[in-house]
């Protein structure tokens, strides 16, 4: 079964769809950063690195999420790095 948990600052909602399906439905205000995570662009605050390699992102609420290698290039391009 495929499902996505859609979270906001207050709660989460379970939605039956794949993240790929959700990615197609969402506006350009969102970006996929990992096979398990799509985030709103304006919530991205920091790229966190270890040994010079960006591996995580920090959101405005200080949540830290992994940054998937497959999605890193697009994120770096989008933020001008």
| CA separation for the pair 80, 4 (Å, rounded) | 29
Q: Which two tokens stand for residue 65?
A: 């999420």
The gap between the terminal CA atoms of the chain, to the nearest Å, is 37
pLDDT at 12: 58
Report the pLDDT averaged over residues 3-15.
60
- Cβ-Cβ contacts under 8 Å for 57 (sequence gap 6 or more): 33, 39, 44, 45, 46, 47, 48, 64, 65, 67, 75
- Reported as a single tens digit per residue, the pLDDT across 41-78 is 888 998 888 777 778 999 998 989 999 988 988 888 88
Residue range 14-37, pLDDT digits in tens: 567 777 877 887 888 888 899 888
């Amino acid at each position: 079964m495929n499902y996505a948990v859609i979270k906001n600052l207050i709660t989460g909602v379970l939605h039956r769809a794949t993240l790929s399906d959700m990615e197609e439905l969402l506006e350009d205000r969102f970006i996929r950063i990992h096979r398990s995570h799509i985030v709103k662009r304006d919530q991205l605050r920091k790229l966190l690195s270890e040994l010079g390699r960006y591996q995580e992102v920090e959101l405005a609420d200080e949540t830290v999420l992994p940054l998937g290698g497959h999605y890193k290039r697009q994120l770096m391009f989008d933020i001008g790095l």
